[in-house]
Structure 1
Amino acid sequence: SITMKSLSIAFAVLVLLVVTSDSEAAISCSDVIKDLKPCVSYLVSGSGQPPSECCTGAKSLASSVSTSEDKTAACNCIKSTSKSFKINSQLAKSLPGNCGINIPISISPDADCSKIG
């Protein structure tokens, strides 16, 4: 049977995990999606320069991912989300340069997020 002591320990560990993860919270996937949403139609079927809203969002994302945890979380989010779309890999690769930013995350369903950091 579960004792009061083991319940207290489990609760203490849970609180510690929540507090620790909150203080080092990586960027949320919803924030990543919000920033890159204006880029979706361009990345799927665009040509030429990306729309200014797309570059604004990409710049916002670039400034939000400062830690290794942020970069990995953003990469994993982009990787899983981009599987839902048929993204033009050439447009995705050239997006940072076309927007005048340096972002260490590839927009690809095949990105290796373990190599980011």
Structure 2
Amino acid sequence: MAISRKLVLLLIYIVIAAPPRADAAITCSTVLNGLIPCLSFVVNGGKVPPTCCRGIKSLYGIAKTTVDRKGVCSCLKIAASSVSGINFKNAAALPGKCGVKNIPFKISPKADCSKVR
């Protein structure tokens, strides 16, 4: 099933409205652009698109500092709170399905990003 136009517009709004983090090298725009290909899986399940896994691996590779990891967590928390229809079991399964282990937080609107190291 294709991602609805409303969902894409909501994500664009999140990218524009999310406050910039002066201390983080990774912006919310970078996070969300890398993970847009994952939306179909987190909403509908099925097969994880290869472009989704590339985005997850790329973010994991560039989020080297605690500040960057907290920034990624915060961006994902905003998205998780704002996008309806997300199946959080699917979202939690993404890193493992893409061969990325040791993600220091869960993709959830209840994530405590202050504890990310």
One fold, TM greater than 0.5? yes
**Alpha carbons 2:73, 2:111 under 8 Å: kept:** yes
Residue in structure 1 matched with residue 81 of structure 2 by the alignment: 83
Higher Rg:
1
Q: Give, as a single letter, the amino acid of the residue that structure 2 aligns with 1:113.
A: C
Q: Give, as a single letter, the amino acid of the residue that structure 1 aligns with 2:26.
A: I
Report SS of the residue matched to 1:83: helix
**Alpha carbons 1:87, 1:108 under 8 Å: kept:** no
Length-normalised TM-score, structure 2: 0.74
Q: Is there any run of 5+ residues in structure 2 with no aligned partner, and where?
A: 1-21
Residue in structure 1 matched with residue 68 of structure 2 by the alignment: 70
Q: Give, as a single letter, the amino acid of the residue that structure 2 aligns with 1:31.
A: T
Length-normalised TM-score, structure 1: 0.74
Equivalenced residue count is: 94
In percent, how many aligned pairs have the same letter? 46
Residue in structure 2 matched with residue 45 of structure 1 by the alignment: 44
- CA offset at residue 104 of structure 1? 2.0
RMSD: 1.4
**Alpha carbons 1:79, 1:109 under 8 Å: kept:** yes
Q: Structure 1: which 4+ aligned runs deviate by more than 6 Å?
A: none
**Alpha carbons 2:81, 2:109 under 8 Å: kept:** yes
- CA offset at residue 87 of structure 1? 1.4
Report SS of the residue matched to 2:67: helix
- CA offset at residue 65 of structure 1? 0.6
Residue in structure 1 matched with residue 16 of structure 2 by the alignment: none
- CA offset at residue 25 of structure 1? 3.5
Q: Is there any run of 5+ residues in structure 1 with no aligned partner, and where?
A: 1-20
